[in-house]
Amino acid sequence: MSVTVFAFAAALIAVPAPVAPQSAPVVAPAHLNELAAQPLAAGREGEALAVLEKASAADPHDAAVLINLGIAYAQAGHDAKARAAFQAALACHEVVELDTADGTTTDSRRLARKAIKMLERGEFRPDAARREQLTYRD
């Protein structure tokens, strides 16, 4: 199974992409909506959480869903839940190959580890919230 992961400023969003020859049109799988990529990219974490929590309940071992669920939790400010989702993605028995938006390939465990580090650095928070972490000196 191949999954495309869109990496942008402060988030990684996992979206499944079928493996197809270069000349063949790519058709999104039916469960694409379960991954809530569009709401996540648009910063609508509430909408994304509703979709992702349902998808995770249906398949608690889908690393792509767990990673996106973690991102949605992190964007909503629920860091403990985000960490739990990323750790669950790490614990999945199946390691899923991931394609990133910049053309690199990685696996679900590596991406989950990266997401945990991003969470620790506060990179999923909106810019305004991250600015509050800064220390200013005179």
Domains of the chain (ranges; CATH) run 2-20+28-131 (1.25.40.10)
Percent of the chain with pLDDT over 90: 43
Q: Which residues contact 109 (CB under 8 A, 6 or more apart)?
A: 63, 89, 90, 92, 95
What is the pLDDT of the chain when averaged over all its residues?
A: 75
The better pLDDT of the pair 100, 24 is held by 100
Q: What average pLDDT does the segment 54-62 reach?
A: 93
What does the alpha-carbon distance between residue 136 and residue 33 come to, in Å, rounded to a whole number?
43
Structural contact between residues 88 and 67, judged by C-beta atoms closer than 8 angstroms: no
Which two three-digit tokens encode residue 24? 């063949």
